[in-house]
């Protein structure tokens, strides 16, 4: 019994003498919000990228990327967001849009707005709104069209706005996937896990 009590007291003493360690990001100029395109669908998993071009218009940057699917279908992704100079702030917001154009099917566009805050004690990113639209060829029909976003302020991880889609035609062909925009606070060093 004395041995168990001694072990218990030793454990308590060790816990009380723990030192908390925190890290601080001193390189303020390198902080920015990272926008990324994610492929979590069947459509582009095995696609071949054949071209990518970046264009800057004022404080906006557009990336146009062309892919070819295994069956030869061409897919063009157009992604517009604020450039890095516009987003290097600890408090800010931006709206990004992404259009996927699938040859012989039409296009899907997602627009998502984000805001973020980073201070000594608080760090979060939030998708404040998302909308989506489609411009389909006359033979394409909609089987699934779900527009959604992450809810509330995200302290760990990323905020997302997206649409899941599934189109088909009278020949029994179909195309499905999702178009997503993700915003992450990449400079986050925090103990709020």
Torsion, CA 100, CA 60, CA 154, CA 107, rounded to 10: -10
Give the containing element (helix H, strand E) for 101: strand 91-102
Burial class (CB in 10 A: 0-12, 13-18, 19+), 95: middle
- Kindly report whether the global pTM for this prediction surpasses the value 0.75: no
Which pLDDT score, from 0 to 100, does residue 183 have?
Answer: 82
Per-residue pLDDT of the chain (193 residues; tens, 9 = 90+): 545 445 454 444 444 443 333 333 333 333 344 444 455 555 777 789 999 999 998 888 899 999 998 889 999 999 998 876 444 567 778 888 999 999 999 999 999 998 888 777 778 889 999 999 999 999 999 999 999 999 999 887 788 899 999 999 999 899 999 999 888 664 222 122 2
Which pLDDT score, from 0 to 100, does residue 105 have?
Answer: 95
Which pLDDT score, from 0 to 100, does residue 41 have?
Answer: 56
Which pLDDT score, from 0 to 100, does residue 42 have?
Answer: 56
Sheet architecture: strand order including 159-168: 33-37, 174-185, 159-168, 141-149
Which pLDDT score, from 0 to 100, does residue 189 have?
Answer: 21
Per DSSP, the three-state class of 42 is coil
């Amino acid at each position: 019994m004395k041995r168990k009590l001694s072990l218990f007291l030793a454990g308590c003493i060790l816990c009380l003498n723990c030192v908390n360690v925190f890290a601080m990001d001193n390189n303020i100029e390198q902080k920015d919000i990272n926008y990324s395109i994610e492929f979590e669908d069947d459509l582009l998993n095995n696609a071949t990228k054949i071209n990518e071009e970046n264009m800057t218009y004022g404080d906006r940057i557009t990336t146009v990327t062309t892919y070819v699917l295994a069956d030869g279908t061409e897919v063009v992704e157009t992604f517009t967001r604020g450039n890095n100079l516009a987003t290097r702030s600890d408090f800010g917001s931006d709206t990004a849009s992404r259009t996927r154009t699938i040859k012989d099917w039409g296009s899907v566009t997602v627009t998502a707005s984000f805001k973020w805050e980073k201070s000594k004690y608080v760090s979060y990113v939030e998708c404040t709104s998302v909308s989506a639209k489609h411009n389909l060829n006359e033979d394409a029909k909609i089987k699934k069209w779900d527009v959604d976003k992450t809810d509330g302020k995200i302290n760990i991880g990323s905020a997302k706005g997206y649409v899941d889609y599934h189109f088909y035609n009278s020949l029994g062909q179909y195309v499905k996937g999702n178009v997503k925009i993700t915003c992450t606070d990449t400079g986050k060093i925090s103990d709020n896990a």
